[in-house]
Structure 1
Amino acid sequence: MIAVQSAVAGLLLGGLYALMAAGVSVTWGVLRIINLAHFGLILISAYLTFQFASEWGIDPILTLGLTVPVMFVAGGALQWAYDRLGVSELNSLLVSFGLLIATVQLVSNIWSADFQRMSAAVNPYATASLDTGRLVFPITTLLAFLIAIALIAGAHLALRRTFAGRALRALAEDRTIAGAFGIDHRRLGVLLGAVCGATAAVAGMLFALANALTPATAYEWFGTVFAVVILGGIGHLLGTLAAGLFVGALSGLVSVLLSPAAAPFVLFSAIVLALLVRPRGLFVRAVR
């Protein structure tokens, strides 16, 4: 029963992993930008959630009304800068990592490097749970799971059913041919970057609901998020969601059956096997 509970808890947490990875995956797959600065946007969003909830007494979830517009603009501006400067795929890895380092330092200067956590008075979700028989579903991870499914499924439908979504898919296949048919890659790229920034705001809020914050936390997300991106298939949103849930459940099971220290080893072994057996991602065929 402990193993089942751990797998369920990991599965719910996997929703947050998928939401964090979605922005990285889609910008990499469509725009050919490896945007590590996305982690910085998540980090700032988490701290803004903490600030607004602790200082102004706003419900943490309602802080999205403030953080989403800010991150929407920030994500769009960031993509506009990448495009105007002609940043290539490889250079984007270096440039965005530098931006992430600057963001982490900025957060340290504003909020200090100490642990920060919302108190129970302003964050009732941290201690709430839903009990069904012998299984317990923490509200924070349950929210992350449900919101991730809703947002990623909605984004997938938008890519399939809307004109802008079909244009982005054409852009991902061949930018030159897409441009010949009148698709403005700059405008669409800025729009996509802005939407990814908005998802970073949601991911930051969900992370702040359940965790203490430190500036260096952004570096700790690297391994797990890139595991989700690679296993799900670069640019494949439903694959990213499936991979996030898989990684969460696997980490939860390994932590109980073996030890928490063994979880990263098993996770990265899975990445190596995926690259050897299915280099385009474990869930690409299911997404198609």
Structure 2
Amino acid sequence: MQAVLSGALIGGLYALMAVGLSVTWGVLRVINLAHFGLILIGAYLTFQIATSWGIDPLLSLLVTGPAMFVAGAGLQWIFDRLALSEFNSLLVSFGLLIIIIQLSGNIWSADFRRMTAQVNPYATQSVTIGRLVFGVPTLFAFVLAGIVVLGAHLVLRHTFAGRAMRAIAQDSAVAGAFGVNHRRLSLALGGVVGLTAALAGTVFALSNAITPDTAYEWFGTVFAVVILGGVGEVVGTFAAGILVGVLSGVVAVVWSPATAPFVLFTAIILALLLRPRGLFATGAVR
């Protein structure tokens, strides 16, 4: 039971990392691998601000949030101006990710960076319910992921901007003919996606050491969450994140941590053979 619940909470972090990638892919048809770089920068900035200024790491979001919003909007502006196809956006964004990783190494070096207990009390805090123990950082991640997913779902389903984004996802040319400003909406969406990267980076830094190569370690799991949840399905992304977290946690305890990736990706292959569009895909961005 401890493994299941802890895995579900960690799955919240996976979902928080994946939701931005899923939405930009589903709505804007951009596979933005540079999103991992924004998460990495968000984590490093959280470390730097908390360590240098001695303030609460969560307060670093007052800096990293606006910074990553601007960075996300800027990346989307580049993609729009270049008019990239999905495949080309994959290549270009991967190149941008390599640049971000290299710059991170130049600034913070390749050494492990972790906030000390003096500036990051959350790393050692936990919540106990009976015999079950939950780390505060994973609780933060789960709650934030739930808030982000619920907010995105409500915006997409019940606002004009959300309906416009869904129209763009279906047919951007027709949506433009009905007065939908594709560029303005894409910039706004890119900025919001950057904000989710800041949230994910901060939560990750609360309980993990950071190196430039950490971004590569997120690839497989986060893409698994996006694909299983269904591209553009924000609610499905949250559910898939929990599923992946639970599966990894249970296998690590019952079998061994080394076999968790093997079992996880075997299950993903089987799931996609039965549900090629994802376990939670419904056919419409939501």
C-alpha distance in 1 between matches for 2:154 and 2:271: 27
What's the TM-score once normalised by structure 1's chain length?
Answer: 0.97
Residue from 19, 29, 34 that aligns with 2:16 = 19
Q: Counterpart of 1:185 in structure 2: which amino acid?
A: H
SS at match of 1:93: helix
Aligned to 1:191: 188
Aligned to 1:262: 259
Residue from 115, 118, 126 that aligns with 2:123 = 126
Q: Counterpart of 2:252 in structure 1: which amino acid?
A: S
Deviation of the 1:285 alpha carbon? 4.1
C-alpha distance in 2 between matches for 1:285 and 1:33: 20
C-alpha distance in 2 between matches for 1:263 and 1:174: 40
SS at match of 1:26: helix
Q: Counterpart of 1:80 in structure 2: which amino acid?
A: W
SS at match of 2:257: coil
SS at match of 2:127: strand
In structure 2, stretches of 5+ residues that fail to align are none
1:242 aligns with 2:236: no
Q: Any idea what the Cα deviations from partners look like across 1:187-229, whole Å, max 9, x if unmatched?
A: 1111111100000000000000010000000000000000000
Say what the alpha-carbon RMSD is for the aligned residues. 1.1
C-alpha distance in 2 between matches for 1:194 and 1:86: 18
C-alpha distance in 1 between matches for 2:101 and 2:196: 19
More moved, 81-90 vs 271-280 = 271-280
Deviation of the 1:186 alpha carbon? 1.0
C-alpha distance in 1 between matches for 2:181 and 2:117: 48
Residue from 158, 165, 180 that aligns with 2:162 = 165
Deviation of the 1:274 alpha carbon? 2.1
CA contact (8 A) 1:18 1:240 kept: yes
Runs of 4+ with deviation above 3 angstroms: 285-288
SS at match of 1:137: strand
What's the TM-score once normalised by structure 2's chain length?
Answer: 0.98
CA contact (8 A) 1:239 1:286 kept: no
C-alpha distance in 1 between matches for 2:154 and 2:278: 20
C-alpha distance in 2 between matches for 1:286 and 1:265: 29
SS at match of 2:133: strand
SS at match of 2:134: strand
SS at match of 2:77: helix
Aligned to 1:143: 140
Residue from 3, 6, 12 that aligns with 1:6 = 3
Aligned to 1:179: 176
Deviation of the 1:270 alpha carbon? 1.9
Aligned to 2:250: 253
Deviation of the 1:264 alpha carbon? 0.7
Residue from 206, 219, 230 that aligns with 2:216 = 219
Residue from 251, 272, 275 that aligns with 2:272 = 275
C-alpha distance in 2 between matches for 1:34 and 1:182: 26
C-alpha distance in 2 between matches for 1:244 and 1:35: 19
More moved, 242-251 vs 265-274 = 265-274
Q: Any idea what the Cα deviations from partners look like across 1:17-42, whole Å, max 9, x if unmatched?
A: 00100011000001100000000000
Deviation of the 1:151 alpha carbon? 1.1
SS at match of 1:130: strand
CA contact (8 A) 1:12 1:248 kept: yes
Deviation of the 1:284 alpha carbon? 2.1
C-alpha distance in 1 between matches for 2:139 and 2:96: 32
1:54 aligns with 2:48: no
Q: Counterpart of 2:44 in structure 1: which amino acid?
A: Y
C-alpha distance in 2 between matches for 1:280 and 1:10: 24
C-alpha distance in 1 between matches for 2:266 and 2:246: 15
Q: Any idea what the Cα deviations from partners look like across 1:106-144, whole Å, max 9, x if unmatched?
A: 000000000000000000000000001000011010111
- Equivalenced residue count is 285
Q: Counterpart of 2:28 in structure 1: which amino acid?
A: L
1:65 aligns with 2:62: yes
C-alpha distance in 2 between matches for 1:163 and 1:189: 14
In structure 1, stretches of 5+ residues that fail to align are none
